[in-house]
C-alpha cells in the first residue's frame, strides 16, 4: 500500500488527488491550514487531516514514527491578486522549503505544483526552456520554488517533479471563490440568468485543463525517477468568448458577453498555451479531455 503525504489536500487539486489516491488503495495524510479551502471538499475522505500552517510546521517531529512513499505538495496561497507580496512569497516558499527538507530527510520523491504563471506574457506555445517572466508575487513564488527544487535535486540527489499547471477547472473549485476558474465564474453568472462578464474584448486565451487530467499528470509523475519540471496543459487554446459559446451550448442558453475594462493589466496574463511535448516524453502524460468534453463532464 502506498503511503502519501499531500499538502494543500483540502484545496481544489489536493482534495481531488487525495480522494483518487484513496480510491486506488493509498493511505493518505493531508496537511492544510484551510486558508483558501473548506473541509466540505473532504467529506468522503478516510485519512488523516492535520490543520497546520506548513511554513511553520515541524514535519520531522510530527511524523517521527511515520514513513511516506511519496509527497505531493499542493499547498500555496493561490489568489494571484493577493496584495501582500512579502507574505505571499514567505508563505509559499517557506512552505515548500519545509516539505523539501522533509523529503530529503526521508529520501522520498517530491511532486509539487508549479504554475504556468512563471511564463508571464511570454511567447506561446510556452516551452519549459523558454525565458521565464513572472508578473506577480504568486508567479514569482513558484519561480523561486522551481529554482529551489533544482538546487535540492543537485545537492541532495532527491527526485523532484515540478508540474506547471495551466488553468485548471472542475469539481471542488468553488471554495476558491474569485480565484476559481473562468469556466466556473462564467457558468455561475449564466446559470443565475445574468450576462457573463469578461474583460474587453474576450479574445484573451487560456490553456484550460480539466481536473481529471491534472490528477492523471500527478499519477504519471509517481512513475518517473527523473527530476524535471514540465507543463501540465492540453495544448489547446480557448478564448473567453469561446468559453461562453461552449457554456451556452452545454447549458442550452444563449447569453451574449458583457465586456468591461481589465483592472489588472499590470500583471495579467493575456494568453497561456502549453507546449505539451516534454510532459509527454518524460511522464507519458497527455491530457484526455478537450475543452468541450471537460465542460460537459463538469456540468453533468
Ligand atoms: N487551479 C489552478 O488553475 C492552478 C494553476 C496553476 C497552479 N496551481 C497550483 O496548484 C496547487 C493547488 O491549487 P488549487 O487550485 O487546488 O488551490 P487551492 O487554493 O484550492 O488549494 C491550495 C490549498 O493550500 C492550502 N494552503 C495554503 N497555504 C497553506 C499553508 N501555508 N499551509 C498549509 N496549507 C496551506 C489552502 O488552504 C488550500 O487548501 C497550488 O500550489 C497552486 O498554486 C493551480
| Residue-wise pLDDT tens digits, 219-256 | 999 999 999 999 999 999 999 999 999 999 999 999 99
DSSP letter, residue 36:
S
* DSSP string covering 92-145: HHHHHHHHHHHHHHHT-EEEEEEEGGGGTT--SSB-TTSPP---SHHHHHHHHH
- Predicted confidence at residue 89, as pLDDT, reads 97
Beta strands per DSSP E along the chain: 3-7, 27-31, 48-50, 70-73, 109-115, 160-165, 167-169, 197-199, 205-206, 208-210, 228-232, 238-239, 258-260
Query: Which positions are catalytic?
Result: 138, 176
Question: Does pLDDT of 264 surpass 90?
Answer: no
pTM: predicted TM-score of the whole model, two decimal places: 0.98
Average pLDDT over residues 66-93: 96
- Predicted confidence at residue 268, as pLDDT, reads 87
Question: Does pLDDT of 153 surpass 90?
Answer: yes
34 CA: nearest ligand 1 atom: 37
SS3 59: helix
What is the pLDDT of the chain when averaged over all its residues?
97
> What is the residue with the minimal CA distance to atom 15 of ligand 1?
12
With a 6 Å cutoff on the Cβ, whether 59 touches ligand 1 is: no
- pLDDT tier at 81, thresholds 50, 70, 90: confident
C-alpha cell at 287: 491530457
9 CA: nearest ligand 1 atom: 39
Distance CA 92, CA 79 (A): 12
Question: Does pLDDT of 103 surpass 90?
Answer: yes
pLDDT > 70: percent of the chain: 100
Helix (H) or strand (E) holding 32: none
Average pLDDT over residues 65-72: 97
Question: What does CATH list as the number for 169-206+237-270+289-299?
Answer: 3.90.25.10
Q: Which of 122, 121, 218, 211 is nearest to 163 (CA)?
A: 218
Distance CA 298, CA 294 (A): 6
With a 6 Å cutoff on the Cβ, whether 207 touches ligand 1 is: no
Question: Does pLDDT of 286 surpass 90?
Answer: yes
SS3 258: strand
Question: What does CATH list as the number for 3-168+211-235+273-283?
Answer: 3.40.50.720
- Predicted confidence at residue 60, as pLDDT, reads 97
- pLDDT tier at 266, thresholds 50, 70, 90: confident
pLDDT > 90: percent of the chain: 96
Q: Where are the domains of the chain?
A: 3-168+211-235+273-283, 169-206+237-270+289-299
Amino acid at each position: 500500500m502506498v503511503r502519501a503525504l499531500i499538502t494543500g489536500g483540502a484545496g481544489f487539486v489536493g482534495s481531488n488527488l487525495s480522494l483518487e489516491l484513496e480510491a486506488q488503495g493509498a493511505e493518505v495524510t493531508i496537511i492544510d491550514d484551510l486558508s483558501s479551502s473548506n473541509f466540505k471538499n473532504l467529506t468522503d475522505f478516510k485519512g488523516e487531516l492535520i490543520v497546520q500552517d506548513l511554513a511553520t510546521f515541524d514535519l520531522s517531529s510530527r511524523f517521527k514514527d511515520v514513513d511516506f512513499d511519496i509527497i505531493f505538495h499542493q499547498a500555496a496561497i493561490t489568489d494571484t491578486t493577493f496584495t501582500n507580496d512579502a507574505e505571499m512569497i514567505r508563505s509559499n516558499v517557506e512552505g515548500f522549503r519545509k516539505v523539501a527538507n522533509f523529503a530529503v530527510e526521508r529520501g522520498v520523491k517530491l511532486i509539487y505544483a508549479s504554475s504556468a504563471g512563471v511564463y508571464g506574457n511570454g511567447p506561446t506555445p510556452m516551452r519549459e526552456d523558454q525565458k521565464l517572466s513572472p508578473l506577480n508575487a504568486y508567479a514569482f513564488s513558484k519561480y523561486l520554488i522551481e529554482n529551489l527544487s533544482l538546487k535540492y535535486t543537485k545537492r541532495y540527489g532527491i527526485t523532484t517533479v515540478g508540474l506547471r499547471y495551466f488553468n485548471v477547472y472542475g469539481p471542488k473549485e468553488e471554495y476558491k471563490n474569485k480565484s476559481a476558474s473562468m469556466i466556473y465564474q462564467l457558468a455561475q453568472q449564466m446559470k443565475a440568468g445574468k450576462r457573463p462578464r469578461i474583460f474587453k474584448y474576450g479574445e484573451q486565451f487560456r490553456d484550460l485543463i480539466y481536473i481529471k487530467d491534472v490528477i492523471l499528470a500527478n499519477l504519471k509523475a509517481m512513475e518517473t525517477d527523473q527530476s524535471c519540471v514540465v507543463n501540465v496543459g492540453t495544448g489547446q487554446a480557448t478564448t473567453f468568448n469561446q468559453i461562453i459559446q461552449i457554456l451556452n451550448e452545454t447549458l442550452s442558453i444563449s447569453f451574449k458577453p458583457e465586456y468591461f475594462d481589465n483592472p489588472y493589466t499590470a500583471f495579467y496574463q493575456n494568453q497561456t498555451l502549453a507546449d505539451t511535448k516534454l510532459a509527454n516524453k518524460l511522464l507519458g502524460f497527455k491530457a484526455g479531455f478537450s475543452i468541450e468534453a471537460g465542460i460537459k463532464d463538469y456540468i453533468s
